[in-house]
A and B are shown apart, each in its own frame.
Chain A
Amino acid sequence: MPSLDNPRPNPEELLRRVQADERKESRGRLKVFLGYASRVGKSFRMFDEGRRRKERGQDVVVGALQSGVTPDIQDILSRLDVIPSLTAKHAGRVYDVMDMSALFRRHPEVCLIDGLAYDNPPGSRNPQRWQDVSELLDRGIGVITAVNLQHIREQQDAVERITGKRAANSVPEAFLHEADEIEVIDAPPDALLDRTGGKSIPDPRSLAELRELALLLAADVVDRQLQEYLDAHGVAARWGAQERILVCLTARSNAAEMLRSGQRNKLRFHGALLAAYVEQPDLRPPDRDLLDKHLALAREMGAEVHCLQGADFVNAILGFAQEQRITQLFLGHTARGRAWLSRSPIDRLIDGAEGFDVRLFPHEGSQ
């Protein structure tokens, strides 16, 4: 049964943390500017940050540029050291490739790299630019880089559904999660449409959808960072900014309605949907079948299903809800009556709910 207190980390866990900390300390810091579409202004923000850092005395160089540098960026570039790219020919095309050995020799504090999603030509040191960045970080060079939503691999299906297009180059989302900092560049779609310069970009509605996706992706990254910080500092998990819904399943509960409602809430709040049941060894076969059906349905509806152990149903659920930072607990009415002077499990759950709401659902057929 999950314990209510923050569990004391075991020796392996401690060792892992120490090693991770050591790796982090010697590794360069990675900062990523995330935009939801082209022309949102992320490259400018990145170079502008490089300029300000240089003015504060940091050793800043430019490691990679994208084609079509705008005048305002050009103005900043004139004040920064640019390490020229190498050119490589492949299949009749000319490619720019970051000059890794020059960067290693120069070993700046911070390297600005525009266009993170970039495929190097065959025969390069690394197939993709984000891998070059990883290497720079491993060598203790800090990197500031910029990427657009359509280049995040795990987001590409969603982006394609919105725009009908799929970018050829991509960066794994895990790379974003590894970043020390991620900053989202937000602007209303109109601002982008003003800046198009005749190039085709998605329509305002698609832009708004992409904008929402980018904001939610950044929120997820930030949420994970918060949890890591809390874990690393031994602070117990607490109620976060995200709605997390837990559906309690039993053999006799009205699982379908609870799960449907849970799924609706998950979608509306962009939250998480979990389902849990407490293992009962003496469950009768027909009830076992019902429970299995509910669990299958929960998985089908995209819920994360957990099996809890514990002699006491209420304590098992309460402990799990606390540990998982649950904000809404869904529970079915029991058909049984209440024994005189004894408090029902529902009453006990309501009394014990610290920091989350308990929603009771009608029993099947009672409507």
Chain B
Amino acid sequence: MSTVAKGKLKVYLGYAAGVGKTYRMLQEAQEMRQKGIDIVIAYFEPHGRKETIAKTEGLEVVPRRILTYNGSQFEEMDTAAVLARKPAVAVVDEFAHTNVPGCDGVKRWQDVHTILEAGIDVLTTMNVQHLESLNDQVFHATGIRVRETVPDWVVDEADELVFVDLTTRALRNRLERGVVYSQEKARRAMENFFNETNLTALREMALRHTAHEVEEKLDAAAAATLAEAERVSPAGPQPARRTERLLICLTGRPSSAILIRRGKRVADYIHAECLAVHVGENGHNREAVERHMSFARNLRIETHVISGRDVPLAIASFARTRGVTQIFMGRSAPLPWWKRYRETIVQRLVRQARDMQITIVAERRR
């Protein structure tokens, strides 16, 4: 197989439908076309927005693929056709979209990766609420559990992230004028998801996330410069840098998903390695545990299953051998009153691992 240089990924990040992500992306596509770059629209969702549709004029469109699922017809991006056409740049709207069963990738971001692997650059759009690590925060702020998510590493790996801003007032005006949705749908949207507090909270998350991504890129560049400088003129033995290592304790309880997202988010921000462990006592709840383990692996967390009758003791010794500096765990279920003299798992782990920082993650409720 020949090795092709991977294409570059550029993400236009917004905080809600209607802020102008697609418009801005198409504007850039037009500029590229005018410069003579071979660019095609691989997928575009018009949503009946006139100004946006006008921006596609003159751009070549790769026809969509039509699939039948459960007796209904669905249109998806035709990844194979995009690969066969092999443009320099492909425009792919709605990065967080989940494909209908029958497509190659389960998620559109996976199809985008296939396109990038073929050496094609991609421009794409997404909203901040689709980021996996913000899922609980979004739920807490808006009351809405977003189902279509993209793992953070996928967005971290983008070569460029651009925040497309619009004030919440301007967005609500657009809704009122019927630019984003039909009048009836817009009215309902404004009473629900698109209320002032939700939009403001999401906008703040998007601003902070973009700032974070900019900083991550700066840090990576600085680290690369440092490594290069050391390679050119080695400064002798460097003091061993103390790396933080964060361990997430997984169970089969539903709150484990929150725990995984929270732990990974903290680990990413403090540049810590992230591990997850489950103590497989007697195999009950195995299915739920396996689901959480695979969720953790999707977020690029190293997972382990260990055995031990005494759960806190097993976790503490695993943590010690792996040089863990912080343990993340969920709250123990409250004990019935007649068992209150006993210690909960949290209390016992706290006692076992007094040399480590232990974080008890609260469930984010509304």
Contact = CB atoms under 8 A, between A and B. Distances in A.
Contacts of A346: 350
Given A215-B214, A340-B341, A354-B365, A185 B165 contact: yes
B135 interface: no
A341 B340 contact: yes
A215 B350 contact: no
B355 A359 contact: no
A215 B269 CA distance: 17
A357 B214 contact: no
Interface stretch (B93-101, B109-117, B119-127, B197-205): B197-205
A264 to B, nearest CB: 7
Contacts of A180: 169
A328 B270 CA distance: 14
B17 interface: no
B248 to A, nearest CB: 12
B162 A355 contact: no
Interface stretch (B65-73, B228-236, B297-305, B356-364): B356-364
B38 interface: no
Interface string A205-235: 1001101100110110011011001100001
Interface in B141-182: 141, 160, 162-167, 169-170
Contacts of B357: 261, 359-362
A187 B344 CA distance: 51
A20 interface: no
A242 interface: yes
A186 B213 CA distance: 13
A268 B167 contact: no
Given A346-B350, A351-B334, 10 more contacts: A183-B165, A184-B163, A212-B211, A222-B203, A229-B200, A230-B197, A351-B331, A358-B359, A362-B357, A363-B354
Contacts of B62: none
Contacts of B221: 205
A341 B208 contact: no
A292 B59 CA distance: 68
A315 interface: no
Contact of A205 (B218, B347, B364): B218
Contact of A359 (B160, B200, B358, B365): B358
Contacts of A208: 214, 217-218
A265 interface: yes
Q: How large is the interface on B (under 10, 10 to 19, 20 to 34, 35 or more residues)?
A: 35 or more
Interface in B82-106: none
**Most B CB within 10 A of own CB, among A180, A208, A226:** A226
A186 B358 contact: no
Contacts of B217: 208
Nearest to B160: A188
Contacts of A17: none
Nearest to A185: B165
**Most A CB within 10 A of own CB, among B204, B334, B350:** B204
A353 interface: yes
19 contacts: A180-B169, A181-B169, A212-B215, A215-B163, A219-B208, A229-B200, A235-B197, A239-B140, A241-B201, A265-B270, A268-B271, A347-B344, A350-B331, A351-B331, A353-B360, A354-B365, A357-B361, A359-B358, A366-B354
Interface of A: 31, 180-188, 190, 205, 208-209, 211-212, 215-216, 218-219, 222-223, 225-226, 229-230, 235, 238-242, 261, 264-265, 268-270, 328, 333, 338, 340-341, 346-347, 350-351, 353-363, 366-367
Which A-B residue pairs are the 7 nearest by beta carbons?
A215-B211, A219-B207, A181-B167, A241-B204, A186-B163, A241-B205, A359-B359
Contacts of A222: 200, 203-204, 207
A238 B141 CA distance: 8
Contact of A209 (B218, B271, B344, B361): B218
Nearest to B138: A241
A321 to B, nearest CB: 11
B137 interface: yes
A14 B208 CA distance: 33
A354 B362 CA distance: 6
Contacts of A356: 362
A237 to B, nearest CB: 11
A309 to B, nearest CB: 25
A22 to B, nearest CB: 20
A150 B210 CA distance: 20
Contacts of A268: 269-271
A125 to B, nearest CB: 30
A212 B212 CA distance: 8
Contacts of A338: 347
Given A209-B218, A226-B200, A241-B141, A186 B210 contact: yes
B354 A241 contact: no
Nearest to A265: B270
Contacts of A355: 140, 362, 364-365
Nearest to A225: B200
Contacts of A235: 197
B225 to A, nearest CB: 9
Contacts of B331: 350-351, 353
A341 B338 CA distance: 10
B261 interface: no
Contact of B360 (A215, A226, A350, A361): A350
A358 B341 contact: no
B214 A211 contact: yes
